[in-house]
A = this chain, B = another copy of it.
């Protein structure tokens, strides 16, 4: 496990938020990946909190979901 406990918690929350936003829109991982020009397996691993995703990929996912990146990141205390 390359991440500290709090880092892993951060990535897990981000992944849950991504999954929730995707499902709200009725999109499959494949459909979201296509819209965002990313690989489906990559989207899947982000949703599982396994990726320390870079900001340009966050921006791609946010654009594909029609939200700002800050919505994807949510409010962190």
Q: Chain B nearest CB: distance from A71 CB in Å?
A: 8
* Residues in B whose Cβ lies below 8 Å from that of A73: 55, 68-70, 73
Q: Is A7 an interface residue (CB 8 A)?
A: yes
Q: Is A34 an interface residue (CB 8 A)?
A: no
Q: Which residue of B lies closest to A69 (CB)?
A: B73
Knowing A69-B73, A73-B73, say if A52 contacts B54 (CB, 8 Å). yes
Residues of A at under 8 Å CB distance from B? 3, 7, 10-11, 14, 52-56, 58-59, 62, 68-70, 73, 75-76
Q: Chain B nearest CB: distance from A15 CB in Å?
A: 11
Q: Are A76 and B52 in contact (CB under 8 A)?
A: no
